[in-house]
Structure 1
């Protein structure tokens, strides 16, 4: 874990809030602590996040400066820093894959992946372990999940640093959003263990008891955009119900998931959770294993369909959280000071690498020009750069392939006749020249049938589309194959409800775009998949209903008369 002490002191300098700056990182200028008007030393938000003790403020570097130093060193090197092995790594060099640092394009690590034999062994081991895990009481499993949440909390900075390093997103986002959300998910499902789904039906002479049985082994396939969140959102409900889990992390950005699972394994009973790094074929092997009781997949629709087909050979059920082409509808009466910041966050948070990205901004024609101007001005002010730099708003794409995909879509938009209304500047640091950066881009003059308005890009590319009335807005919003989330901005509550009900999506935001879904059922329809995550009903996704019918001892049980006649006393 990277030490968190700032490099120099600057006692007496005045911070933006008028307080004296006590410590600041020399490499980045980030303030870690200040002296308030009463002379007391108080942590800044970043100082609090990194749990800085301030005992020796000038002794070592900050996490951000060290990551910057590592990124720059890697930019000058063609060799990865480390080779990572897990319990289920094979000995075959063909199973190795390289993880790049998106900020520089330099190799970050080599991961020795699993092979077919190791996948089989991991699933078999998990299957054997689930028998003892499921016999623990639900309350006991909840207690274990609380221990998991605490263990992740204690290693939160470390997990965030790893995610920043291989995913590219800003470090503060990885820590404040991703890891915090993962902790919250474990805590939430721990709380549900005291009230697991079930039902009792009193039928008079018969008593029906319905219980939720675990599938046994859950095969979980996690995407690259939010590895800690997706790892938690699959692990927590699966474990709560009594399953063992085998996770396949994203090959583009596996490091945070690998470390997070290692931490979780140190808390849980042996063999309940496993992780098998590898590329696409390993996910297919996991989905097609006959001992996997259910597959939980988050990723692209194309890969999702492949996983469904593979699982279908064994009649294995699946949970699919797939893509989105999410509409953000701004009506003419909307408060633009409220709507615009949410639109920027909705579309460009996480570099636009999100199935929930508000990549289609639908604006009433009467205010279209104003919204386009203000949105474009905001885009131009975004700072694109290394996620380890505290001034960065938008990090790089996760991989060179993802960068090419997004740039190709920008070219497609131009070829189709859309106008690039605004772009953010790219970093000019020569040491970041090899990084996977894409300029956040706003397109105007977009028609609903253009590819950039129909297909998921998974990058910081926004299509702004005008509409004339409510019916047209709904028609455009529903005019793609996807149906994940949508947003409606209007002060008219009747309109908000009417439009929300008309939208063919699994989730609708009204006058907000807060994507902390914990406690709410999250999932889509159409090409966005099926099943619901992050809510109480998610428990039913990870188990099947079993009815146990008992004789109550009250009244007579209806019977088929001939069965009594032919089994009566023999003559």
Structure 2
């Protein structure tokens, strides 16, 4: 990769104006590996001007032209698949096996789903004497986090490009490598100069400048609820569209009619996916109160089966992304101990034999009450809280007792009961009995988990505005 020290603006790799450098650290070794440039307001203005200049012509391209570009991008992405997988291991510590099976795969899945949705999308319809048109909203600033670098970049970029928007992308400085490679693929695919622009920078500087920029028509952010609120505030003066996919504290409701041991073990494994660094992680496990001891045994066994170590080796969990996140997780684990939860597995400190790298012990707490810190705050690490419930009504109440509303999980042998529970959960996405993730299903949250939807045709719609032209016929 030759463009680590540059931004992609106006179809060219250019030297940054900003002088601030972020030292990217390999989370497995704590070694500094690359200096990453951080954009200042001048860089942001150049990128936005480039996107604005490209919008008039790109927004007038035909659906067939845009489909051709996206299909070429998909070919190039798949050809670079292994390279992208390896870059994500290096930048944010995901295991190589998981990166190949999931982290890189979701990029392919979102491109495929977007192409399929674009093929079916109808952009103009005459109703009586009026033309109803769906048009690209304009210049879009896309702000993405570090935990699923390709998922959260491609799920925004693909639909924005599909409908004719132009883009300034600002991926996280903690996972910039795969995003830089993706920008190179955009260039190679033949998208016109200025359609896609890539910078890295902090939320406080680059994110703030993008959010309040008068020539940015839309902001799409995936990140913490705190970051989403900051973006919305900065964007308010220019009344631009803001869509947000934010935090979560998802509940996994285990009903009395299932195999408890299997459900608990599956739930622990699901929580630990990507080392727990997923906004939809089922981090609150609700179990029947009278079976808590059985659940403890099953959860401990599941946690202890997870091996932790060098993500390039055959382990199930690598490190968390950086030192700040490591210490935050340690603090939250300590809060669980201090507040009286039962520590079943894991705990404070690195796993045995690891004295370097941001490795966290796979941790299980039981006998957790809904008001404990570990039941309220999004931990974003391999930490799960087992919460007892007395009745189904009690379980539903506890599940909904959160400022978040991103995802929910239900383990229930009675499918009609599971469907009833699903209707009552105040969340945007629900998985019943271990159902697979679907790139063609809408994804978004209730409450402080954000607004707007992503995936397939749902993603297209967030980048469109509706126009009516009376007298057209």
| Shorter-normalised TM range | over 0.9
1:364 aligned partner? 288
Q: Could you say which structure has the larger radius of gyration?
A: 1
Q: 1:92 to 1:497 in 2, by over 3 A?
A: closer
1:223–1:249 contact (8 Å) kept in structure 2: yes
CA distance in 2, matches of 1:404, 1:118: 32
Q: 1:88 to 1:338 in 2, by over 3 A?
A: farther
1:557 aligned partner? none
CA distance in 2, matches of 1:528, 1:486: 12
CA distance in 2, matches of 1:347, 1:538: 26
2:131 aligned partner? 209
Q: 1:340 Cα deviation (Å)?
A: 3.4
CA distance in 2, matches of 1:201, 1:331: 50
Matched, 1:112 2:37: yes
Q: 1:331 to 1:469 in 2, by over 3 A?
A: same
Q: 1:328 to 1:252 in 2, by over 3 A?
A: same
CA distance in 1, matches of 2:317, 2:453: 29
Matched, 1:143 2:68: yes
2:346–2:362 contact (8 Å) kept in structure 1: yes
Q: 1:365 Cα deviation (Å)?
A: 2.0
1:96–1:110 contact (8 Å) kept in structure 2: yes
Q: 1:446 Cα deviation (Å)?
A: 0.4
1:546 aligned partner? 467
Q: Secondary structure at the match of 1:320?
A: strand
| Pairing partner for 1:90 from 2, 16, 33 | 16
2:117–2:456 contact (8 Å) kept in structure 1: no
| Pairing partner for 2:416 from 494, 516, 519 | 494
1:127–1:291 contact (8 Å) kept in structure 2: yes
Q: 1:371 to 1:548 in 2, by over 3 A?
A: same
2:10 aligned partner? none
Q: 1:247 to 1:330 in 2, by over 3 A?
A: same
Q: 1:141 Cα deviation (Å)?
A: 0.6
CA distance in 2, matches of 1:488, 1:239: 36
1:39 aligned partner? none
Q: Secondary structure at the match of 2:271?
A: helix
1:331–1:364 contact (8 Å) kept in structure 2: yes
CA RMSD in angstroms, aligned pairs only: 1.8
* Matches for 1:306-317 after TM superposition, within 5 Å: 306-317=230-241
Q: 1:82 Cα deviation (Å)?
A: 10
CA distance in 2, matches of 1:534, 1:422: 36
2:342 aligned partner? 419
CA distance in 1, matches of 2:281, 2:360: 16
Q: 1:547 to 1:83 in 2, by over 3 A?
A: closer
1:170–1:394 contact (8 Å) kept in structure 2: yes
1:329 aligned partner? 253
Of 368-377 and 237-246, the range deviating more from structure 2: 368-377
CA distance in 1, matches of 2:325, 2:111: 30
TM-score by length of 2: 0.94
Matched, 1:159 2:84: yes
Which blocks of at least 5 consecutive residues in structure 1 are unaligned? 2-80, 553-571
1:288 aligned partner? 212
CA distance in 1, matches of 2:426, 2:148: 25
CA distance in 1, matches of 2:221, 2:167: 13
CA distance in 2, matches of 1:428, 1:367: 31
1:6 aligned partner? none
Matched, 1:476 2:398: yes
1:298–1:321 contact (8 Å) kept in structure 2: yes
Q: 1:436 to 1:158 in 2, by over 3 A?
A: same
CA distance in 1, matches of 2:182, 2:127: 45
Q: 1:337 to 1:414 in 2, by over 3 A?
A: closer
Q: Secondary structure at the match of 1:84?
A: coil
Q: 1:254 Cα deviation (Å)?
A: 1.2
CA distance in 2, matches of 1:287, 1:311: 5
Q: 1:338 Cα deviation (Å)?
A: 4.7
| Pairing partner for 1:175 from 88, 100, 110 | 100
CA distance in 2, matches of 1:341, 1:447: 21
CA displacement 1:348-377 (0-9 Å, x = unmatched): 100111100110000112332212211111
2:3–2:180 contact (8 Å) kept in structure 1: no
Q: 1:202 to 1:114 in 2, by over 3 A?
A: closer
Q: Secondary structure at the match of 1:398?
A: coil
1:311–1:318 contact (8 Å) kept in structure 2: yes
